[in-house]
Amino acid sequence: MSTPQSSLDPGSQPPATPPARRVDAWTVLRVLVCTFGLLSLAYWGYLTWPFPLPGVLFMIGAPLFAAVVWYLFRSPRSPIETDVVGKTIVEVALVVAAGASWLSLRHPVVGLVFIVVATVSGIVTARRESA
């Protein structure tokens, strides 16, 4: 009769390691797009609202709200199970909010370029997730 072995016993197999995540150009672009979107919302809060009280609240609150919504509904590790349509709606809303912040700051070229790059990045990510 064999006795169970702990993972510390000699001769036992090491625990399986999770597969390594791929880091390629699209993943780096995705991180940059998300970071730029959050910084855009913070910059919008800084320039649009008077300092100190409403400005600080919007400078911190807008990107924090966007990050929490993204985590809850769009993140690969989100605690709320969302279908493809829900994920798309959340991502489009966040991208449009960040792009609109640049439009409201009278920098439409930056906003439109951000929206185009974020859209391409989102499409590539969605295709990878569905494959």
| pLDDT, position 15 | 63
| pLDDT, position 75 | 87
> pLDDT per residue over 57-109, tens digit each?
999 999 999 999 999 998 888 899 888 899 899 999 999 999 999 999 999 99
Nearest 10 degrees: CA dihedral of 97, 103, 106, 107? 100
pLDDT of residue 5 exceeding 80, the answer is: no
Task: Give residues with Cβ within 8 angstroms of 57, minimum separation 6.
Answer: 45, 49
Mean pLDDT score of the chain: 87
CB-CB contact of 60 with 38 (8 Å): no
pLDDT of residue 19 exceeding 90, the answer is: no
